[in-house]
């Protein structure tokens, strides 16, 4: 049914106008212009644009296991920390090193750890290097991290394994707890992931 405003049904046109007005708060003369510009061609274009955007977002997140969130390294990292899995008592950290690509465990990953002592200071007593076992699991035993300024208690970690990008992250123990679980999910390097 045609009318004097371009062949649209008055009822359909008013309904669309009201919907857009309700959603946008734009007053009637302006939103009428928008209604008339949504031709079938433009709607098809908008749909294809939306579909391709969603496909791009999906392609940018190709991992079965979400990678562990990177975090600041901070100024107190030192190389060659002693190989050990225990520097104190009071807090047990366990977890699994896994591949983001397929969630499979990664054996032999090198995990460097450093944290504040009970006095809130960083020094060599509170550094360690440990490795994931054959099943990808690791553990680390320490005191509960001491306070450091206004930051929440935390344990710094750097994880390296052949074929994976280095992960620099931090674990935040829950105050009042004696243990925590923190999986370390690594991203394959581009060369390994494309095979």
Residue closest to Fe ion, measured at CB: 74
Strands 167-171 and 155-160: antiparallel
Nearer to Fe ion, 101 or 155 (CB): 155
Q: Which stretch binds Fe ion (CB under 5 A): 30-38, 45-53, 70-78, 97-105?
A: 70-78
Q: Point out which span in 18-26, 68-76, 83-91, 186-194 binds Fe ion (CB under 5 A).
A: 68-76
The Cα–Cα gap between 153 and 142 comes to 13
Smallest gap, in angstroms, from Cβ of residue 154 to Fe ion? Answer: 6
98 vs 127 by CB, closer to Fe ion: 127
Q: How far is the CB of 167 from Fe ion (least distance, A)?
A: 16
CB of 168 to Fe ion, least distance (A): 12
| Segments of 48-175 assigned E as strands | 91-99, 110-116, 122-131, 137-142, 155-160, 167-171
Nearer to Fe ion by C-beta: 74 or 163? 74
**Segment interacting with Fe ion (CB under 5 A) among 11-19, 74-82, 86-94, 128-136:** 74-82
Q: Which is nearer to Fe ion, 35 or 81 (CB)?
A: 81
Beta-sheet strands, E only, within the chain: 91-99, 110-116, 122-131, 137-142, 155-160, 167-171, 179-181, 184-186
Question: Would you say the C-alpha torsion 47, 51, 53, 57 has a positive or negative sign?
Answer: positive
Long-range contacts of 33-36 (CB under 8 A, 24+ apart): 36/5, 36/6
Using the rule CB under 5 A, give the single segment among 14-22, 26-34, 69-77, 125-133 that binds Fe ion.
69-77
Please say whether the beta carbons of 136 and 194 come within 8 A.
no
Instruction: Give the one residue of 26, 63, 74, 183 binding Fe ion; rule: CB under 5 A.
Output: 74
| Shortest spacing between CB 115 and Fe ion, in angstroms | 7
Total number of residues shown for the chain: 195
Closer to Fe ion by Cβ: residue 98 or 154:
154
Residues making contact with Fe ion (CB under 5 A): 74
């Amino acid at each position: 049914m045609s009318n004097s405003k371009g062949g649209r049904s008055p009822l359909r046109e008013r309904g669309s106008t009201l919907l857009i007005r309700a959603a946008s708060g734009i007053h009637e003369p302006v939103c009428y212009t928008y209604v008339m510009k949504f031709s079938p061609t433009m709607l098809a274009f908008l749909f294809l644009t939306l579909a391709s955007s969603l496909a791009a977002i999906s392609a940018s997140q190709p991992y079965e296991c979400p990678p562990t969130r990177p975090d600041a390294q901070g100024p107190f990292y030192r190389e060659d920390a002693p190989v050990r899995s225990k520097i104190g008592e009071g807090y047990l950290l366990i977890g699994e090193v896994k591949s983001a690509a397929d969630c499979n465990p990664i054996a032999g990953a090198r995990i460097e750890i450093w944290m504040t002592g009970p006095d809130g200071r960083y020094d060599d007593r509170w550094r360690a290097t440990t490795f994931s076992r054959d099943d990808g699991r690791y553990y680390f035993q320490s005191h509960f991290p001491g306070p450091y300024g206004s930051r929440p208690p935390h344990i710094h970690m750097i994880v390296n394994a052949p074929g994976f990008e280095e992960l620099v992250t931090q674990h935040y123990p829950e105050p009042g707890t004696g243990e925590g679980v923190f999986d370390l999910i690594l991203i394959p390097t581009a060369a390994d992931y494309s095979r």
